[in-house]
């Protein structure tokens, strides 16, 4: 569970927060920046405790702003990242919470954060074990990730997770094209750390793809 969820970071996603008021925008930015610091700067052994603390903040944001899809998206992202850092069977409950959060975000506004709920949920379906342990389903993952690309065809996260999905499906040529396009994604304001960390993940995956194509 730990290895298959580690990249979740699921998803580091937000692009535009214009629909939120200033207080919500700042709250969202704080959660995003804390997530990137934990995911990309902290040693692996310290991440689970740090994500647990961040989950308190993201859960409070969700509960206090229940009509705001962005709050549900980031609660899902933090919970999935916490599960990845925690690992083991106990992480499954957090994965299920993340799934429920992201599904709620889709009922509120599927276009929020340029379709980030689709990206994160698709990544979960790709990485979580299938029945009977979990709900993993590569066909469902592909459907969700394609929906994410329709909303954000040039986003670093939507392209990265699509490329990763293609790699998992042994569609290496398509994966290379998607990942190369992801590296060309425009920088995201206030997301410098997340962008830098994601680009490293893309480059590492591209190296694996190239080995398969040799």
Give the angle 107-157-177 at the CA atoms, nearest 5°. Answer: 125
Angle at 13 between CA 96 and CA 210, to 5 degrees: 95
**pLDDT score for 91:** 87
Tens of pLDDT, residues 30-47? 999 999 999 999 999 999
How high is the pLDDT of residue 190? 87
Torsion of CA 128, 55, 41, 121, to 10 degrees: 30
Rounded CA-CA distance 214/193 in Å is: 32
Give the tokens for residue 95.
Answer: 């994965």
> No. of H helices and E strands in the chain?
10, 0
Neighbours of 108 (CB within 10 A): 16
The verdict on domain 2-213 having CATH code 1.25.40.10 is yes
The H-or-E segment that residue 197 falls in is: helix 192-213
Can you tell me which residue has the tokens 């106990």? Answer: 90
Mean pLDDT in runs of 10 for the chain (214 residues)?
46 45 92 97 96 97 96 98 88 93 98 97 95 92 98 98 98 98 95 96 98 94
Domain spans of the chain? Answer: 2-213
104: Cα separation from own chain's centroid: 16
3-state class (DSSP) for residue 87: coil
| CA–CA distance, 106 with 100 (Å, rounded to integer) | 10
């Amino acid at each position: 569970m730990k290895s298959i969820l580690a990249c979740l970071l699921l998803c580091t996603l937000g692009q535009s927060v214009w629909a939120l008021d200033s207080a919500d925008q700042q709250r969202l930015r704080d959660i995003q920046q804390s997530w990137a610091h934990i995911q990309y700067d902290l040693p692996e052994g310290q991440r689970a405790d740090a994500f647990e603390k961040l989950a308190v903040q993201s859960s409070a944001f969700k509960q206090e702003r229940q009509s705001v899809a962005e709050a549900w998206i980031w609660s899902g992202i933090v919970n999935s990242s916490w599960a990845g850092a925690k690992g083991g069977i106990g992480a499954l409950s957090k994965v299920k919470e993340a799934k429920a959060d992201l599904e709620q975000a889709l009922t509120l506004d599927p276009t929020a954060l340029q379709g980030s709920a689709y990206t994160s949920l698709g990544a979960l379906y790709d990485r979580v074990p299938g029945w009977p342990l979990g709900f993993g389903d590569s066909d469902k993952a592909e459907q969700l990730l394609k929906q994410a690309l329709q909303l954000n065809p040039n986003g670093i996260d939507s392209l990265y997770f699509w490329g990763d999905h293609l790699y998992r499906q042994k569609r290496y040529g398509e994966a290379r094209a998607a990942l190369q396009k992801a590296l060309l994604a425009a920088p995201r304001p206030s997301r410098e750390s997340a962008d830098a960390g994601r680009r490293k993940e893309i480059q590492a995956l591209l190296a694996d793809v190239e080995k398969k194509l040799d």
